[in-house]
Amino acid sequence: MGLLHLLAVILVISAFFAYINKKYTKLPNPIGLLLLSLVVQGLILEPFIKQVSAKVAAAPEPLKSQHQRWSE
């Protein structure tokens, strides 16, 4: 559920950026911008997700079990 939720959030944010860009810059291809923003967000979010995962892995056992419940 956690990964699906994250993908949905990325898609909504990307659609928002595509809408703003089309509205204010009049670019003809919002789908290309949507794909570009997905790639950029992947480059930004991937290190953050890895950093959080590393912190959770190094955390005490109660926090690990809480994270495991969230990711189910």
Residues 30/19, Cβ–Cβ less than 8 Å? yes
* DSSP label of 58: T
**What Å distances lie between residue 30 and 9, 13, 17, 40, 66, CA to CA?**
18, 13, 9, 15, 39
pTM over 0.85: no
What tens digit of pLDDT does each residue of 41-59 get?
777 777 777 887 787 777 6
Please tell me the predicted confidence (pLDDT) of residue 4: 73
